[in-house]
Amino acid sequence: MGKVPVSYLKERIAALEDDTVVLPAHYADVSEIGEDGVVSGRLGDLRRTVPELKIENEADFVEAMRQAVTDPPPIYADIIKINLGVLDVPDEKIAEWELGKNECAAKAVRK
């Protein structure tokens, strides 16, 4: 499948009801984990609170993402080495990193 235009994705999301449950692939803080152990949100709440969902056009979205990109956390150098098989760490450390805070995602910054 080729590149999907941002406008297509925006139209698809716009067609969904506010009570649609969103299950993200990442979360920013353990406080986002519900009592049931699930990270989720209602689309209507996200539309009101997530700056990226308020951006109206593709050019502004792309620019916001470019502005938001930061250097990766220092631990990523070790994670890359582990993935390449040149560094060995205990399974407990890998589990800690796997469950840890998502620090790799770009996000729009309010100015």
Which of 30, 34, 31, 11 lies closest to 22 in space, CA to CA?
Answer: 34
**pLDDT tens for each residue of 28-83:** 778 888 999 899 999 999 999 988 888 888 889 889 888 888 887 788 888 889 88
Can you give the residue ranges of every domain in the chain?
Answer: 6-99
- Which tokens belong to 39? 């990270």
Give the pLDDT of residue 48.
Answer: 93
The answer on pLDDT for 110 being more than 50 is no
Q: Where are the beta strands (DSSP E) in the chain?
A: 21-22, 41-42
Strand partners, 21: 42
H/E segment holding residue 13:
helix 6-14
